[in-house]
Amino acid sequence: MSNKIAVYWPGDGRKKPNELALPNIEAASVQIENALKKLGRAPYRVPGFLSKPHEARDALGPIDDPIVGVFVHWVYGPHTTEGVVGKDNPLLLASNFSGRWPGLVGLLNTGACLTSLKRRHSRIWTTAEDMSSDPVFMAELDQWCRTGAIAHSEAGIRYHAPVSADAAARAARVAAEIRRRHPLILMLGDTSMGMINGYFGPRLLAPYAFGEHKIDQAWIIDRGKNISDKRIADAFAFVKDKGLSFHWREGTASDFDENASREQLRDYLAVLDLLAEYGADCLGWQYQLGLIPLRPPSDLAEGLFNSACRPESNGKPIATATEADQGNVMPMEMLKRLLADKGLHPAVMFHDVRWGAEHDGRFLWVLLNSGSCGAYAFNHDPDTLRGAHSYRQPALYFPTPGGTFAGESLPGGVTWARAYIRDDVLWMDVGKGEVVKLPPATRDAWWEGTTREWPFMAADLGVGRDTLMAHYQSNHVAVAYGDVFGEMVALSQELGFRVRILGQI
């Protein structure tokens, strides 16, 4: 492998996040460059952030040397992929491990995007401030420098799991219903913020008995004009009566008021009507980035859709994937049906894999997403919104005021899953774990160290940091309270997914 190694900065598509990340990415780049130099390599910089796909194409495309991307904040997958597809020079994604600066989230998304495009790459990460002081990091970096790849352990991955007769029968029953009437995903746009790994399209959905109908997000604005003031008032009265707490004008959120929340309910009702008009079973909602200057955030609406307790409800949650992520909405709909068949409440939560740390001898992941976590996670009562809070989405990223749908997730056993593209077919990762109640001081430190306005879940997913970071194919995960692990493995296999089991089951 060449001694010369290019170091580049994948970026956010927005100017301000890149500006804020500049001190961190400069410091991390110096660390990586020093580590490479200690291994006898000659690193050089690709100038500036790559913040648009064509910038990646133009800057990385001509490079034949090995390449290292530095991930210290959220970045878009195409800001790497467009510069490296069609080539095979060694590619390494290198990340910090921080909740405040979610480089690991950007690495997971970019790695999954590369996998979906069949572009080989390796991953590396460290918690050490001085990267060269981390012997595991240095050994893996040396392996990559010598061979062009890092061989991560697969000890935490299996491809088979025991399934009981009852679980198999339940899975077969649900699979038959899915095949009889294919679940239809109403897609409001697609591929938010460069998450190209999360869009499958009809050609990949159909073999697994799912369909989609895509609608331009502009329809939300158009249909919203026809939502009556009375429907909005009734919806607003409902959510307040059911216990949703609004945090208007708190702190610096002087522009977040009752009208902003009412407008979020207008969008909820417009989308509810679209779901009925097209007979859709579940929902993928892009929102970002196209609607950011035009409408308030979709978080309140998405949180309500994932709750049985919501305005004009049919008594059931509607599985809703923020950022129009089909890799989450498919397992969410599948888990929802399995839970219902087993007599469990059929709410399924959508989360980001944001960060993780040791607590009381076990590794816990901080799952933290801005939108699609339903109220059941906060109260375990399908008939109330108590425990759910709506804070102003951070103005830095969301200039139009509107609230989140947040709370602290209650403890309990969970099943989790994620679908993704590998070698032009769909795979399903399945695992089981436990949501953990943290001591208040630890909870607050972790929550404040990420994004306090978003829903919080501390979970032992049954899989350690290194296995997930090396092998997981997304920054998103679907989480359901209750043990339907065997059923989810069997249902995934019944529908034709290739299945991986992450963790010691």
- What distance in Å separates the CA atoms of residue 479 and residue 416, rounded to the nearest whole number? 4
Helix spans in 324-478 (H): 326-341, 376-379, 440-448, 465-471
Q: Tally the residues of the chain.
A: 505
Instruction: Output the pLDDT for position 284.
Output: 97
Instruction: Output the pLDDT for position 386.
Output: 98
Beta carbons within 8 Å of 148's beta carbon, 6+ residues apart: 1, 66, 90
- Average pLDDT of 129-133? 92
Q: What percent of the chain has pLDDT over 90?
A: 95
Instruction: Provide φ and ψ at 272, rounded to 5°.
Output: -60, -40
Number of neighbouring beta carbons within 10 Å of residue 94: 26
- What distance in Å separates the CA atoms of residue 477 and residue 104, rounded to the nearest whole number? 14
Instruction: Output the pLDDT for position 290.
Output: 86
Instruction: Output the pLDDT for position 101.
Output: 87
- What distance in Å separates the CA atoms of residue 403 and residue 302, rounded to the nearest whole number? 11
Cβ atoms of 312 and 269 within 8 Å: the answer is: yes
Please give the mean pLDDT across all residues of the chain: 97
Strands 122-125 and 91-95: parallel
Tokens of 225: 């004009």
Q: Which domains does the chain have, with CATH numbers?
A: 4-147 (3.40.50.10940), 165-502 (3.20.14.10)
**Confidence category of residue 10, pLDDT binned at 50, 70, 90:** very high
Instruction: Answer yes or no: is pLDDT of 187 > 80.
Output: yes
Strands 476-481 and 412-422: antiparallel
Cβ atoms of 435 and 380 within 8 Å: the answer is: no
Give the start-end residues of each E strand in 271-411: 282-285, 320-322, 348-359, 362-368, 389-390
The helix or strand, by DSSP H or E, that contains position 274, with its residue range, turns out to be helix 258-277
| Model confidence pLDDT, tens digit, residues 241-296 | 999 999 999 999 999 999 999 999 999 999 999 999 999 999 999 998 889 999 99
- Average pLDDT of 356-378? 95
- What distance in Å separates the CA atoms of residue 236 and residue 355, rounded to the nearest whole number? 34
Instruction: Answer yes or no: is pLDDT of 362 > 70.
Output: yes
Task: Say if pTM beats, i.e. exceeds, 0.85.
Answer: yes
Instruction: Return the closest-CA partner of residue 318 out of 371, 351, 272, 354.
Output: 272
Instruction: Answer yes or no: is pLDDT of 505 > 80.
Output: no
Instruction: Output the pLDDT for position 190.
Output: 87
Instruction: Output the pLDDT for position 301.
Output: 98
Instruction: Output the pLDDT for position 134.
Output: 96
